[in-house]
Amino acid sequence: MEGAGATPVTVSDARLDTLSGLELVGRYQLGARRAAGAFCVVYDAHDRELKRMVAVKVAAQEQAAVYREALNATAGLSYPAFLAVYDLIEQDERLFLVHEFVDGRPLSAYVSDGAPVRRGVALALQLAHAVAYAHQHDLAHGDLTPAAIVIDRGAVAHINNVQMPPDWDYFSATASSLALSDVTRSAEETLAALRDDARQRDVWSVAAALWLLITRVADAGEAMGAVERRAYGADVSAEIQTLLARALDITHPQRITTSEELALALEAQDEALTRAANPQRDTLPLAVGAYREARAEREARGVEVATGRHGRYDGQFPEAATYSGMTDPMALDTSATRPADDGLYAAAGQFAQHPQYPPRPYPSYDPRRAARGERMRPFDGAPDANPAWPMESVAGGTASHVMQPWAWALIGVVLFTAFFLIGFLVFPQFKFFVFP
């Protein structure tokens, strides 16, 4: 899927816009039109065979050669960030490309409103890793515009339109905006360098996407069509601004020229932003740090924090709200910068909302601590609001649920005696002992 929000059809065959309901090879049923671009129209579709949603790109016959060439070049890509292609069908003098369905929005939908700097850096880091993977396999995307990047509900980036002809209108407008904003020196020199090297175009595109996300239009009066002056927000550090200048300005003396170098620089910024947001996070498990951040954020908003095994839960974990469709993931900045904390905290948030389970995180059982008589506490170290909870009950300085050696000995004696008496009463003919 190329993103929500239909745009005017710009392909040459206007009939591609009226294919809802069409059935392909008795398997794929086209649904609503999702989006349109310069070469194709995208439809939601249903795969009757595998009972799943897919996305179908429809291209006119004259564009078939372009898509076939791109598919032949990218057939070996298996990185999760690149949308998977399922099928290629030619029907009614049109080309139908069936690929993975992603419920999300294109990155271009977020450019006007922007994103928190931590989220922007995390997304750029995902893109840098994906581009580095492609470059290691001697491939370049070539047209990594915001329209080719889809952000799903977990704030995970998915890349589309690999090896398609570049959208030079986008590159020209963005290069001019960078020059107008005093980030680069010359738009003409930038475009000349981008035309000559597809890999450098990918590196530049990742940095440009981050720049668009963490900047705002400075003066609407200076905007000239798609060219506009943009300025950094107050939360953007000088280090990030320097990083972007190194990646976007081709005349920079310390210019970033490879995707691996860009990924390493973004990783350093991602780590610095995470540490600055929560200094204790380096020494805590991922889910623990996320829980503390969410609790502090709820307390700051005046939301009641639930305690105790049967405590009442008010509020909602941010990632749980995202996965339930109630919140746009790009607006969240309370989790780890890696989207949805690799799914760990998102699952914890959904678990905590269940009416039969408490929101307080339960500690895991540690027999060594129990043997020492240590009471196990919740992750945040707060006193236990329900000491009657069996996992935390303590008797005589030792956890009651830990079997001691004398208890095992007593159980053994009782079992042996019971076995002997039962055998003697039931089978008296077996004389184990001879009494005088």
Q: Which of 39-43, 196-200, 236-240, 428-432 has the lowest mean pLDDT?
A: 428-432
Query: How much is the average pLDDT of 32-58?
Result: 89
Q: How far apart are CA 434 and CA 436, in angstroms?
A: 7
- Is residue 427 situated within a structural domain? no
Q: Please determine, for residue 331, whether its predicted confidence score (pLDDT) is greater than 70.
A: no
Do 42 and 89 sit in the same domain of this protein? yes
Q: Please determine, for residue 98, whether its predicted confidence score (pLDDT) is greater than 60.
A: yes
- Is residue 56 situated within a structural domain? yes
User: How does residue 395 score in pLDDT terms, banded at 50, 70 and 90?
Assistant: very low
- Is residue 431 situated within a structural domain? no
pTM of the model: 0.63
pLDDT at 286: 64
Any idea what DSSP says for residue 199? Answer: H
pLDDT at 359: 45
Q: Please determine, for residue 54, whether its predicted confidence score (pLDDT) is greater than 70.
A: yes
- Is residue 206 situated within a structural domain? yes
Do 189 and 219 sit in the same domain of this protein? yes
- Is residue 155 situated within a structural domain? yes
- The residue type of 354 is H
Strand partners, 42: 35, 57
Do 132 and 214 sit in the same domain of this protein? yes
Do 272 and 285 sit in the same domain of this protein? no
Do 179 and 297 sit in the same domain of this protein? no
pLDDT at 74: 84
Mean of all residue pLDDT scores within the chain: 75
Q: Please determine, for residue 330, whether its predicted confidence score (pLDDT) is greater than 50.
A: yes
Judge whether 245 and 252 are in contact, CB under 8 Å.
yes
pLDDT digits (tens, 9 = 90+) for 281-300: 556 666 666 776 777 777 77
Q: Which residue has the higher pLDDT, 343 or 58?
A: 58
Q: Which of 39-48, 253-262, 329-338 has the lowest mean pLDDT?
A: 329-338
Q: Please determine, for residue 317, whether its predicted confidence score (pLDDT) is greater than 90.
A: no
CATH number (domain holding residue 205): 1.10.510.10
- Is residue 120 situated within a structural domain? yes
Q: Please determine, for residue 263, whether its predicted confidence score (pLDDT) is greater than 50.
A: yes
Query: How is the beta sheet containing 40-47 ordered, strand by strand?
Result: 23-24, 28-36, 40-47, 52-60, 94-100, 85-91
- Is residue 411 situated within a structural domain? no
Query: How much is the average pLDDT of 340-352?
Result: 41
- The residue type of 413 is V
Do 71 and 109 sit in the same domain of this protein? no
Q: How far apart are CA 211 and CA 121, in angstroms?
A: 10
Do 284 and 309 sit in the same domain of this protein? yes
Helix and strand counts by DSSP (H, E) for the chain: 12, 13
pLDDT at 369: 57
pLDDT at 389: 40
Do 137 and 257 sit in the same domain of this protein? yes
Q: How far apart are CA 343 and CA 349, in angstroms?
A: 10
**66, 101, 136 — which closes off a domain?**
101
Q: How far apart are CA 25 and CA 33, in angstroms?
A: 19
Q: Which residue has the higher pLDDT, 431 or 268?
A: 268
Do 149 and 234 sit in the same domain of this protein? yes
Q: How far apart are CA 378 and CA 360, in angstroms?
A: 7
CATH number (domain holding residue 50): 3.30.200.20
Do 119 and 179 sit in the same domain of this protein? yes
Q: How far apart are CA 55 and CA 1, in angstroms?
A: 5
Query: How much is the average pLDDT of 409-422?
Result: 86
pLDDT at 3: 39
Do 184 and 243 sit in the same domain of this protein? yes
Structural domain including 46 reads: 14-101
Three-class secondary structure assignment of 384-398: CCCCCCHHHCEECCE
Q: Which residue has the higher pLDDT, 348 or 165?
A: 165
pLDDT digits (tens, 9 = 90+) for 128-172: 999 999 999 899 999 999 989 999 988 899 998 888 889 999 999
Any idea what DSSP says for residue 92? Answer: T
What's the domain count of the chain? Answer: 4
- Is residue 362 situated within a structural domain? no
Judge whether 22 and 42 are in contact, CB under 8 Å.
no
Residue with tokens 């924090």: 305
Do 159 and 90 sit in the same domain of this protein? no
Long-range contacts of 390-393 (CB under 8 A, 24+ apart): 391/362, 391/363, 391/365
Percentage of the chain surpassing pLDDT 70?
66
pLDDT at 225: 54
Query: How much is the average pLDDT of 209-235?
Result: 80
Q: How far apart are CA 164 and CA 167, in angstroms?
A: 9
Query: How much is the average pLDDT of 84-109?
Result: 89
Judge whether 47 and 54 are in contact, CB under 8 Å.
yes
